[in-house]
């Protein structure tokens, strides 16, 4: 503390400081007040600017981190899909090179209580090709199912371990005027099934 006090005393004794102090005391007291207020406002503005700059920088870093986390999640999801396709067998144990989409869809539907007579699997059409991955487009019509079966079927098609994605889904209610049709639905799925060349 004494070292600081000694330095301050040396500064106060210097001739340049004495001249500045003499000039300051020559200024009118009202002007000195304005100068002091202006200097205080300038210091406050500089401090505020630095604080806002730090906050803005933190916000930008947080946004970049959120974007990178979202990208990592997407990469992880894509890796899972590629592993399903690239592995020697699909998640259900079948060969993805000779995929029978009709059989796969019927197997999924049977597990949730939808009979084969309620299903109509459309003809496969070639979709896009990316590297060794082939997209097959086909439709699935399901008749007379309830809402719980529809939701479960949609979930199992997308997330059930098969390389299938729902492109479109149309749901129609059966006409309620006819006896016995209350609560039943017809659905048409447009699906993409992926396989390896």
pLDDT, tens digit, 9 for 90 and up, residues 62-71? 888 889 888 8
CATH of domain 101-196: 3.30.70.60
Q: How do residues 143-178 score in pLDDT, each as one tens digit?
A: 988 888 889 999 988 887 788 889 999 998 877 656
Which of 32-41, 86-95, 97-106 shows the lowest mean pLDDT across its residues? Answer: 86-95
Q: Would you place residue 93 in the very low, low, confident or very high pLDDT band (cuts 50, 70, 90)? A: very low
With tokens 């004495």, the residue in question is 18
pLDDT value of residue 98: 52
6 has a pLDDT exceeding 80: no
Mean pLDDT of 20-32: 80
Please give the Cα distance from 123 to 191 (Å, whole number).
11
Asked whether residue 105 carries a pLDDT value surpassing 60, the answer given is yes
pLDDT of residue 92: 41
Kind of pairing between the strands at 133-145 and 125-130: antiparallel
pLDDT of residue 3 exceeding 90: no
**How confident is the model at residue 84, as a pLDDT?**
64
Mean pLDDT of 112-130: 86
Among 98, 97, 94, smallest CA distance to 108 is for: 94
From-to residues of CATH 3.30.70.60 in the chain: 101-196
Would you put residue 194 in left (φ > 0), alpha (ψ -120 to 50) or beta?
A: beta
């Amino acid at each position: 503390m004494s070292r600081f006090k000694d330095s301050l005393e040396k500064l106060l004794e210097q001739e340049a400081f004495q001249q500045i102090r003499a000039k300051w005391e020559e200024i009118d007291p009202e002007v000195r007040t304005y100068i002091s207020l202006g200097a205080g406002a300038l210091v406050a503005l500089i401090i505020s600017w630095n604080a806002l700059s730090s906050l803005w920088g933190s916000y930008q870093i947080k946004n970049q981190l959120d974007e990178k986390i979202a990208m990592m999640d997407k990469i992880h999801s894509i890796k899972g899909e590629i592993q399903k396709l690239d592995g020697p067998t699909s998640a259900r144990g079948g060969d993805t090179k000779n995929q029978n989409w009709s059989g796969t869809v019927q197997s999924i539907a049977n597990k949730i209580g939808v009979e084969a007579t309620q299903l109509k699997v459309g003809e496969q059409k070639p979709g896009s090709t990316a590297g060794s991955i082939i997209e097959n487009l086909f439709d699935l019509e399901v008749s007379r199912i309830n809402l719980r079966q529809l939701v479960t079927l949609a979930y199992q098609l997308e997330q059930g371990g098969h390389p299938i994605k729902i492109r479109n889904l149309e749901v129609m209610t059966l006409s309620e005027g006819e006896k016995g049709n209350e609560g039943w639905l017809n659905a048409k799925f447009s699906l993409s099934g992926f396989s390896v060349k």
